[in-house]
Amino acid sequence: MRQTRSLGTASWRLLAAALLLLSPALWSAPARAHHEYRVLLLNSYSHTLSWTADITRGVEQGLATLDHPVRLHVEFMDTKNIYTEEYLDLLASQYRLKYRDIRFDVIIASDDNAARFALKYRATLFGGAPMVFCGVNDADFLQEGSRGGVTGVYEAVDIEGTIATILSLQPGVGTIHLISDETTTGRINRAAAGAVLPRFAGHTRFAWIGETSLPELEAVVAALPPEDACLFISYNRDRLGRWYAYDEAIERISRASTVPVYGFWDFLLSRGNVLGIVGGVLASGRHQGWLAADMAGRIMAGERAESIMPVSQ
């Protein structure tokens, strides 16, 4: 009798296992749910830049909300420190070797240099994977390549809104001094500012501060008359080729300045004992990264990248 009951239990277990294996409704969905997607985040700059760190956190947080697992690979191209064709060729060779056995579902490229790099090498290095960009300042970026398989988030630096904010906070401001360097970000935003400044003719004066060493720049802002203001556009590399993180540059400039310093990014704000900008119409790197991750999630869910309209934030 004991042997008969034991065989009966075993038979029921075999039958239950067979039913589980034969029921697509029970096994197909979990199998799909456990597919691990691969995403490459290609950052233009170093992880030491607060803007880049914020974008990376935003991407990580955005991908974590998706209903399927994602393995994120992160690269920092460090192009504020070095940006030559020889260096880019070296990076391309490194990524070709490093990722030759990995097929990415989506490439996320942050800021202009990485976006241009990813657009150029998307087919040859990354198997033509769909691409999402963020933090891109160049409004004509997508004209450099095919729109197919590409979407993203433009960084909307609100120069006009920030100047209007300065005028509202400092009625009768004398001269607004615009601080810029010769990096990609500096050149693009300086050109954008040049198109906006004529709209404020008769309301204030503008002067450019550039092509200086950081100590020279500190001396200039320390001697400004009290009715003036500064607008920080970009300062990572000085005329001597020395590289500065945004945090160091803005703190030294703000500490030396006799007048308020305004800007475009939230990570430049004063915090605790660290001096920074006093305000402006501010963009958020974390929000840029989160939006890019959301677009990547839509692509992994089946949408075509080119069907997702680029946005400006």
What pLDDT, in 10s, does the model give residues 250-261? 999 999 999 999
Topology agreement, domain 34-156+286-312 and domain 159-268: yes
Render the burial of 166-203: b for 16+ CB within 10 Å, e for the rest. bbeebeebebbbbbbbebbbbbbbbebbeeebeebeee
* Stretch 207-228: mean pLDDT: 96
Whole-number pLDDT of residue 3? 43
Domain ranges for the chain: 34-156+286-312, 159-268
Estimate the crossing angle of helix 184-196 against helix 159-169, to 10 degrees: 60
Whole-number pLDDT of residue 286? 97
Q: What is the pLDDT of residues 74-83, one digit of tens each?
A: 999 999 889 9
**Residue 242: is its pLDDT beyond 80?**
yes
* Stretch 44-61: mean pLDDT: 95
Which CATH number is associated with domain 34-156+286-312?
Answer: 3.40.50.2300
Does an H or E element contain 186, and which?
Answer: helix 184-196
Res. 6 pLDDT band, cuts 50 70 90: very low
**Residue 1: is its pLDDT beyond 80?**
no
Whole-number pLDDT of residue 65? 96
Which SS3 state, helix, strand or coil, does residue 83 take? coil
Contact call for residues 189 and 242 (beta carbons, < 8 A): no
Contact call for residues 58 and 283 (beta carbons, < 8 A): no
Q: What is the pTM of this model?
A: 0.81
Whole-number pLDDT of residue 182? 87
Whole-number pLDDT of residue 19? 41
Work out the mean pLDDT of the chain and round it to a whole number: 89
Whole-number pLDDT of residue 34? 62
Does an H or E element contain 162, and which?
Answer: helix 159-169
Res. 10 pLDDT band, cuts 50 70 90: very low
Whole-number pLDDT of residue 144? 52
Whole-number pLDDT of residue 146? 58
Which CATH class for the 159-268 domain? Answer: alpha beta
E-strand ranges in the chain read 37-43, 70-76, 106-110, 131-136, 150-154, 175-179, 205-209, 229-232, 261-262, 311-312
**Residue 8: is its pLDDT beyond 80?**
no
**Residue 23: is its pLDDT beyond 90?**
no
Identify the burial level of 261 via C-beta atoms within 10 angstroms of its C-beta, where 0-12 means exposed, 13-18 middle and 19 or more buried: buried
Whole-number pLDDT of residue 254? 96
* Stretch 105-134: mean pLDDT: 96
Q: What is the pLDDT of residues 121-177, one digit of tens each?
A: 999 999 999 999 999 988 888 875 557 899 999 998 899 999 999 999 999 999 999
Q: What is the pLDDT of residues 270-302, one digit of tens each?
A: 888 788 999 999 999 999 999 999 999 999 999
